[in-house]
Amino acid sequence: MSADVTGVVVRLKLSLLRNGLRQSGGRRAAYAASAVLVLLFAALQLLGLILLRGNAHADTVVVLLVSVLALGWAVMPLFFPGGDETLDPTRLVMLPLRPRPLVRALLAASLVGIGPLFTLCLLTGSVISVARGGMAYVVGVIGVVLALLVCVALARAVAAANIRLLTSRRGRDLAVLSGLVIAVGAQVVNFGAQRLGSSGLGQLDPAADVLRWVPPASAIGAVESVSEGSYGVGVLQLALSTAALAVLIAVWSRHLTRLMTSPDGSTLQAVTEAAVRERTSTGLARLLPAGRTGTVMERSLRYVWRDPKTKAAWVTSLAIGLIVPLFNALQGTGSIYFACFAAGMLGIQMYNQFGQDTSAFWMVAMTISSPRDAYVELRGRALALLLITLPYAALVTVLTTALLGDWPKLPEVLGLSFALLGAMLATGAWTSARFPYSIPQDGYKNVAPGQTGLAWISIFGGMIAAALLCAPVIAVTIWLNVSEDGEAWSWLLLPVGSAYGATITWLGLRLAAPRTAARLPEILTAVSKG
Amino acid sequence: MTSAVSVRGLWKRFGQQVAVAGIDLELPAGKFIGLVGPNGAGKTTTLSMVTGLLRPDQGAVEVVGHDVWRDPVEVKARIGVLPEGLRLFERLTGRELLAYTGRLRGLPGAEVDKRATQLLDVLDLAGAQHKLVVDYSTGMRKKIGLAAALLHNPEVLFLDEPFEGVDPVSAQTIRGVLERYTASGATVVFSSHVMELVESLCDWVAVMAAGRIRAHGPLAEVRGQAASLQQAFLELVGANGRDAGSDLDWLGGGAR
């Protein structure tokens, strides 16, 4: 019976993957591209690890790598709990499945995919990098399997433990924190890397000494121990990983049972939240311009506050936009030009405007009958964004300048920021019309399955285009900085940058509007997948 | 007789699947028109194409004499739509949603607020007007959707499954509003797979199955000699006399 369930679930995952790809050629290409990229990265890593063989610090690197990998698996479901909806146990609630076969089946299905394959490559590389002697390779095979299972079980256990929280509306609002975690995490990694750069790999040895006892790194640590002849230590390390796997599966199984036998958390919060909302109305509306512009701005701003997805995206952008320049300035490694980060991060919010509407975009589509309507719609959205972004970018720039004490540079950095913001708004408006994609409201993904490629093209293509569009202003900045009496004229960059930003935004909106008006049904189809 | 909607040679394919296979249809103005058919007949696809929310592969659609794709300015101002399976701006309250929709449609703010108040009253939503739409029940959502579709007083109203999942009380309210609306000379086109409902509401029907129109005309004409529309429909789509009894002999009480 249980073998049946396992087979069925694995096949389910494969067919869902296949069906997701079947829907469009673009999606297939995007998936293939990302797969190739991941595999290429995995292969490079494998190669790197093999080259590391014999290096004095190979064991340290390997143990740390596996630990980081495991951490990644643990954190992943917090940010993308819907990342694997085929494994969403709440969809199986109605089926008469016992926890034990279900856990086995879900675990097996979890092993299908690019992520596990990547992990497998990395683990294999790690073993090759440290194993010496036949016995070590035998232990290596066990270690790889064990470590992979621990990683996958860890992710599933964390996901199951969090799913109740994450399916409730309140819980979703908490996800706002995830942006902060990523931002702060990136800074910690950045800081760590700089320390490492200054004092070498040896500094990591004490950390590795601890981690080689922590599963799943201990499973790979065992390979190294066996290579050095410490069989007892190796067995102990393997046993630790096995025990961890057992505990994780037990925890997962318990959460799974509870999850599938208790009511959905999403329905419990509805009433209380509704009561809270009543207060947050109007007031603002009176300050906004009349007509479509004000109407669109008001709705956009309300969504920044009320829609958890939009709110999370905004908080992430606001946090990263503040943290990166400020932290770098505090560490003394900062450049005043990092202040442009705030404008860049917030400009991202202009991207995929219609995807943020979800399929409710039809309400907008029904009221756009000409490029003029589309222009006013897009302009309203850009204005709503500017209402928050302009003061914020200015504030971040001033704070960064204050920390670095480089006041003469303030005007030119502000000018650059505004030019960048304008370019982001312009490219954002255009990609919104040209490359719209769905943002699923249920679950935790920010991109509908199969549209990941589209989202990356939209965001990264747009960002590169925005950077290129800023080139003239950047060129002037550089020229003023290298030329002899340029300093005296650098204040000019503030009016020039602002004017440039405003002009390019206007041009972008002008270009995007006819495209939007002509592609309404196509945009609606693209944003209705979630 | 003038047509409210005129459809010629309308086709839509999704990959291998033909959703709508060449529809020609003239819908008379001032009638309560039902588009009936089983699930998957192509009703939603047809209504989406007629209202400009989905681009047809082929064919032309005119609403009150204006081409939907060539003349959207004229068409969009004259139609109201309540689609099925698409969201609303659910993080707005009911009242905010109406205010937003009305203003997007270019109506003066004071007029929008006046009409919204009346619609909320008539549709029994006044008590929930400050609740977020996301917290509404299915019936309430359909009603607020209907209110949003009626706000600009369209000439033709397209409703996709307006009674699906709606409780009897809300259904009666919706019915009352629609009957009053058509009595004034406006046209309602709505889709449903519930024959009894269509029979009791409509004076003109079009029967759809497998992407084609099987019959259309005044209700009495389509019903013909059959006892009910349901019966006539089953004969039209050829589903009558299919006896599943012998295949499911294991089903039911007694032996397992």
Cβ(B208)–Cβ(B37) below 8 Å = yes
pLDDT confidence of residue A284? 65
Q: For tokens 């928050």, what's the residue?
A: A388
pLDDT at B42 over 50: yes
Instruction: Say whether A274 and B106 touch across the interface (CB within 8 A).
Output: no
A329: three-class secondary structure by DSSP: helix
**pLDDT band, very low/low/confident/very high, at B102 (cuts 50, 70, 90):** very high
Indicate the length of chain B as a whole number.
256
Q: CA-nearest residue of chain A to B85?
A: A359
Report the C-alpha gap between A472 and A474 in whole angstroms: 5
Of A292, A295, A522, the CB nearest to B55: A522
pLDDT confidence of residue A275? 45
B7: three-class secondary structure by DSSP: strand
Cα B53–Cα A31–Cα B48 angle in degrees, nearest 5: 10
Cα–Cα distances in Å, from B249 out to A162, B239, B241, B242? Answer: 46, 21, 18, 15
Cβ(A509)–Cβ(A429) below 8 Å = yes
Residues of B in contact with A299 (CB under 8 A): 89, 92, 100
Instruction: Say whether A363 and B85 touch across the interface (CB within 8 A).
Output: no
Closest-CA residue to A211 (of A117, A126, A116, A121) = A126
Report the C-alpha gap between B61 and B9 in whole angstroms: 9
Residue, of B17 and A201, whose pLDDT is higher: B17
Q: CA-nearest residue of chain A to B148?
A: A363
Instruction: Say whether A295 and B54 touch across the interface (CB within 8 A).
Output: no
Does A289 lie at the interface with B, CB-CB under 8 angstroms?
A: no
Instruction: Say whether A290 and B106 touch across the interface (CB within 8 A).
Output: no
pLDDT at A8 over 60: yes
**pLDDT band, very low/low/confident/very high, at B46 (cuts 50, 70, 90):** very high
pLDDT confidence of residue A190? 67
Q: For tokens 């890397």, what's the residue?
A: A193
**Run of H or E including B157:** strand B156-160
Q: CA-nearest residue of chain A to B108?
A: A291
What's the ipTM? 0.91
Residue, of B178 and A529, whose pLDDT is higher: B178
**Run of H or E including A41:** helix A25-52
When the pLDDT of each residue in chain A is averaged and rounded to a whole number, the result is: 80
B-facing residues of A in 324-353 (CB < 8 A) are: none
pLDDT at A95 over 80: no
Going edge to edge, which strands form the sheet with B204-209? Answer: B79-82, B156-160, B187-192, B32-36, B204-209, B212-218
Residues of A in contact with B83 (CB under 8 A): 362
A36-45, B25-34, B224-233 — most confident range:
B25-34
How far off is chain B from A267, nearest CA to CA, in Å? Answer: 9
Residue, of A130 and A514, whose pLDDT is higher: A514
At A116, list the tokens.
């596990």
Q: Give strand pairing partners of B5.
A: B27, B63
Cα–Cα distances in Å, from A176 out to A2, A438, B87? Answer: 39, 20, 23
What percent of chain A stands above pLDDT 90?
20
Q: Of all residues in chain A, what percent are helix, strand and coil, respectively (each to 5)? A: 85, 0, 15
pLDDT at A524 over 60: yes
For chain B, the C-alpha Rg in angstroms (whole number) is 20
Q: For chain A, which residues make up each domain, given as ranges?
A: 2-263, 284-527
Report the C-alpha gap between A218 and A66 in whole angstroms: 9
What percent of chain B stands above pLDDT 90?
64
Residues of A in contact with B73 (CB under 8 A): 369-370
How far off is chain B from A298, nearest CA to CA, in Å? Answer: 9
pLDDT in tens, A460-478: 888 888 889 888 888 888 8
pLDDT at A151 over 60: yes
Instruction: Say whether B104 and A359 touch across the interface (CB within 8 A).
Output: no
At B45, list the tokens.
């696809």
- Point out the least confidently predicted range of A261-275, A395-409, A475-489: A261-275
A320-324, A465-469, B233-237 — most confident range:
A465-469
Residues of A in contact with B103 (CB under 8 A): 291-292, 294-295
Sign of the CA dihedral running A415, A421, A424, A428: negative
Average pLDDT over residues B155-177: 90
Average pLDDT over residues B105-119: 93
Residues of A in contact with B132 (CB under 8 A): 273-274, 277, 306
Residues 6+ apart with CB under 8 A from B165: B138, B139, B142
E-strand ranges in B161-210 read 187-192, 204-209
Average pLDDT over residues A41-57: 80
DSSP states along A374-410 = HHHHHHHHHHHHHHHHHHHHHHHHHHHHHHHT-GGGH
Sign of the CA dihedral running A304, B93, B148, B219: positive
**pLDDT band, very low/low/confident/very high, at A366 (cuts 50, 70, 90):** very high
B191 secondary structure, DSSP code: E
Cα–Cα distances in Å, from A33 out to A4, A27, A38, B159? Answer: 33, 10, 9, 42
pLDDT in tens, A292-309: 899 999 999 999 888 877
At B91, list the tokens.
């993080």
Cβ(B72)–Cβ(A344) below 8 Å = no
Of B83, B92, B132, the CB nearest to A274: B132
Cα A463–Cα A468–Cα A474 angle in degrees, nearest 5: 115
Cβ(A120)–Cβ(A216) below 8 Å = no
pLDDT confidence of residue B154? 95
**pLDDT band, very low/low/confident/very high, at A274 (cuts 50, 70, 90):** very low
How far off is chain B from A26, nearest CA to CA, in Å? Answer: 14
Q: Which of B81, B87, B95, B136 best probes binding to A when mutated, by most A CB atoms within 10 angstroms?
A: B87
B-facing residues of A in 440-469 (CB < 8 A) are: 441
pLDDT in tens, A176-197: 555 556 656 666 666 666 666 6
- Point out the least confidently predicted range of A51-55, A280-284, A524-528, B212-216: A280-284
Q: Give strand pairing partners of B23.
A: B10
pLDDT at A421 over 50: yes
Q: CA-nearest residue of chain A to B68?
A: A369
Of B53, B96, B132, the CB nearest to A365: B53
Of A294, A296, A521, the CB nearest to B55: A521
When the pLDDT of each residue in chain B is averaged and rounded to a whole number, the result is: 89
pTM: 0.71
All structural domains of chain B, each given as residue ranges with its CATH number in brackets, are: 3-239 (3.40.50.300)
Report the C-alpha gap between B165 and A134 in whole angstroms: 67
Cβ(B211)–Cβ(B40) below 8 Å = no
Residues of A in contact with B72 (CB under 8 A): 369-370
Residue A244 dihedral angles phi and psi, to the nearest 5°: -60, -45
Instruction: Say whether A364 and B104 touch across the interface (CB within 8 A).
Output: yes
Q: Which of B50, B54, B92 best probes binding to A when mutated, by most A CB atoms within 10 angstroms?
A: B92
Average pLDDT over residues A148-155: 88
Does A269 lie at the interface with B, CB-CB under 8 angstroms?
A: no
Taking CB atoms and an 8 Å cut-off, how many pairs form between chains A and B? 96
Does A307 lie at the interface with B, CB-CB under 8 angstroms?
A: yes
Instruction: Say whether A369 and B148 touch across the interface (CB within 8 A).
Output: no
Instruction: Say whether B92 and A363 touch across the interface (CB within 8 A).
Output: no
Of B76, B103, B109, the CB nearest to A369: B76
Looking at beta carbons, which pairs linking B209-212 to residues 24 or more positions away fall under 8 Å? B209/B37, B209/B38, B209/B41, B209/B236, B209/B237, B210/B21, B210/B41, B210/B42, B211/B18, B211/B19, B211/B20, B211/B21, B211/B23, B211/B41, B211/B42, B211/B45, B212/B21, B212/B22, B212/B23, B212/B42
Instruction: Say whether A362 and B53 touch across the interface (CB within 8 A).
Output: yes
What percent of chain A stands above pLDDT 70?
80
- Point out the least confidently predicted range of A52-61, A230-239, B77-86: A52-61
Does A271 lie at the interface with B, CB-CB under 8 angstroms?
A: yes
DSSP states along A184-197 = HHHHHHHHHHHHHH
Cβ(B88)–Cβ(B145) below 8 Å = yes
Going edge to edge, which strands form the sheet with B66-67? Answer: B17-28, B3-14, B58-63, B66-67
Instruction: Say whether B91 and A525 touch across the interface (CB within 8 A).
Output: no
Cα–Cα distances in Å, from A302 out to A16, A290, A305, A433, B99? Answer: 36, 16, 5, 22, 13
Q: CA-nearest residue of chain A to B56?
A: A521
Judging by DSSP bridges, how do beta strands B66-67 and B79-82 pair with one another?
unpaired
Residues of A in contact with B87 (CB under 8 A): 358-360, 441
